[in-house]
Amino acid sequence: MTKIRFILGVITLLSTIVHALSTGNHGIRRAKRQSTDRLVFAHFMIGIVSNRHSASDYDDDMKRAKALGIDAFALNIGTDPYTDQQLQLAYDSAANNDMKVFLSFDFNWWHIGQAAEVGQKVAQYASKPAQLLVDDKVFVSSFAGDGMDVAAMRAAVGRSVFFAPNFHPSTGTDISPVDGLLNWMAWPNNGNNKAPTAEHSISVADGDKEYVDALGGKAYIAPVSPWFFTHFGPEVSYSKNWNFPSDLLWFNRWNEILELKPRFIEIVTWNDYGESHYIGPLRSPHTDDGASKWVNDMPHEGWLDMSKPYIAAFKAGQSSPDSHISSDELVYWYRPAPRGVNCDSTDTCMVPANNGSGNYFMGRPDGWESMADSVFVVSLLTAPATVQVNSGGTVHNYEAPAGASAKEVPMGVGAQSFEVSRDGKTILSGTSLKEIIDGCVCGLYNFNAYVGTLPPGSNDALQPEGLSAFTQGLRVQTCQPTPSLGTVPPAAPPPSKSTILPSSPPSTTKAPGPCSAIPSTVVVTVTVTEAMTPPNPPPTRSCGGGGTGGGNAGGGGGGGGGGGGGGGGRSRACIAGTGANNYSGLCSFCCSYGYCPSGPCTCTQYGTPVPLPPQLELVGRLLSAKTTRIWVFAVLHVIMDIVPLRPAE
């Protein structure tokens, strides 16, 4: 009996071990499957690369994307005569570089009645080695296309298709025939393809929820994008001029992605220069659609660097990129000029244009108020360090934690320098190749971003074919279609003021919109300059003749009075304004003396600056933090007799 019990015990033990091993192997296989299920795509515009002549012309894009952890390019295609030639080259290059690609049909050019033609195009490339397969099905996507007959498309392909288009469930589109959906709206918006307002504000996370809820467990392609600004005037048939709030979007959105953990993500985009959300190199071969006017000298490759640890964390199912940061790096970006500069007399969008799309606005891009006048800095650090930002002579110091963290500091006109130190030793330092100017770059309202890094990256410049439409519509003679950054940065600005910013943990919340509530604690950094554009600048209007140009259109330069030099900002000050509710009296007072902060106040009249009143002693009970801020500036303006102060955004 004892022997039998022993044998039964051994059998039970062996059974338990076998079961444990089987379960463990199943768990490993499941983890591996889930890990490989997490794929990263980047949207690639085929329509602007007709000048590529061999598969090798795609190699650099493929290699860079693969090194970052991107799995496949979504090849956006229209109906151009060169589309098939370029698709063949792209598929060949992808195969040569162990990358995958798939077709994304752009329904700006395709029509929903062309389901059979779409299917035939899919079938044409479905068997190529570089075609992305998901669940052993040919992966296909789109830009728009709601209402297309999905069954007819599948029938025309003749094999299994994993169809994940950019359909919009909120419009009532039937999504039952799809395998997944792409959400294109990667930017905060108003629900109608424009910047958010106080009345209508939809976050990217709101869009995530809408899609995830509608999909009910089907695959979701979550978008991630760094920026949005477009500024096409009447020189093209597709005139459009607006931006979405983008300041710290790239950092905040990646943190949202790590929390959301979708099956797929799509970077919007690799090379759409026309909407300023490119992360690929400027030197990548492409033709110019007119965007070079605001893209020249504006590299974005630093955003590539920043994405790498986030992509690794996403694929590992982690909620933080910190364990994937193996060396110290600083990524910074900013616009080339404050948002308040007046470029009306020289901007390319100050003339009427076709507005059939409803996306054309004269002058400043629609949504310009949503952008902060700040320098944005993301630290990727192996250990805590002190970061110093010298923006135009004002030095800001703060403590950055190990890992990924973000900070924004007030923008200062002039050179931009950065330094990282640890244990009393400087480990990174340098000055950006691009200065911030108090004027108009090539006469334009340029709301694109310049992105730099420490250590500095390689020189990245547009090639001649990428500058071919540079002068079309340009209204100044001072700019040439050539890169001008060079490789030697300007001298670091001499420090004129120093501030210590409060330390903060890594930020994972979205940057506040233009009408968000002001926090109870307001940190104000003041930089006094010789001349400053009013924070609430004159509204853009139809183009007038010479002699009436705004004072800060420095890029316009020249005689005749049009677009005078950068020092003319005082010639058009705010002299009257109003505000809602409790702000009425305060705004009326502040605006009448040139300081009219957008948000609580609205300037209603511009003209010659009104002389300051005699010194007063102002006493009163403050109603709120925002009220406090306005009174502080009003009192400083009157007592100190200085130019209007600009609060930290």
The answer to whether the beta carbons of residues 71 and 41 sit under 8 Å apart is yes
- Residues 415-451 pLDDT 10s: 999 999 999 999 999 999 999 999 999 999 999 999 9
* pLDDT tens digits for range 389-418: 999 999 999 999 999 999 999 999 999 999
Query: Is residue 123 packed enough to be buried (19+ CB in 10 Å), middle (13-18) or exposed (0-12)?
Result: middle
Q: Averaged over 584-592, what is the pLDDT?
A: 72
Residue 568 structure tokens: 């003319």
Q: Decide if 409 contacts 377 (C-beta within 8 A).
A: yes
| Predicted pLDDT at 23 | 39
The predicted pLDDT at position 581 comes to 59
Q: Which of 283, 227, 323 is nearest to 61 (CA)?
A: 283
Distance from C-alpha of 17 to C-alpha of 54, rounded to nearest angstrom: 57
C-alpha–C-alpha distance, residues 390 and 647, integer Å: 17
Other Cβ atoms within 10 Å of 314 Cβ, number: 26
Taking the C-alpha atoms of residue 381 and residue 401, their distance in angstroms, rounded to an integer, is 7
Q: What is the pLDDT of residue 113?
A: 98
Residues 6+ apart with CB under 8 A from 165: 105, 140, 141, 142, 145, 148, 178, 181, 182
Q: What is the pLDDT of residue 370?
A: 95
The b-or-e profile of 534-556 (16+ CB within 10 A means b, else e) is bbbbbebeebeeeeebbbbbbbb
Measured CA to CA, the distance from residue 635 to residue 445 in angstroms comes to 32
Crossing angle between the packed helical segments 115-125 and 83-96, to the nearest 10 degrees = 40
State how far Cα 479 lies from the chain centre.
26
The pLDDT of residue 2 is above 80: no
Return the H-helix or E-strand segment holding 29: helix 2-37
Mean pLDDT score across all residues of the chain? 82
Q: Residue 111: is its pLDDT beyond 60? A: yes
pLDDT for 548 beyond 80: no
Closest CA to 516 of 197, 276, 296, 83: 197
pLDDT of 192 over the 70 cut: yes
In the predicted structure, residue 562 carries a pLDDT above the cut 50: no
Number of Cβ within a 10 Å radius of residue 350: 21
Looking at residue 139, what is its pLDDT? 99
Is the pLDDT at 28 greater than 60? The verdict is no
Residue type, 388: Q
Nearest-CA neighbor of 266 among 160, 363, 165, 137? 165
624 CB-near residues (< 8 Å, 6+ apart): 582
The pLDDT tens digits of the residues spanning 249-261 come to 999 999 999 999 9
E strand or H helix that includes residue 205: helix 204-215
Percent of the chain at pLDDT exceeding 70: 73
Contact 429, 334 (CB under 8 A): no
| Per-residue pLDDT, 13 | 45
CA-to-CA dists, residue 382 to 214, 322, 327, 538, 579, angstroms: 40, 8, 6, 46, 47
CA 331 to chain centre: 14
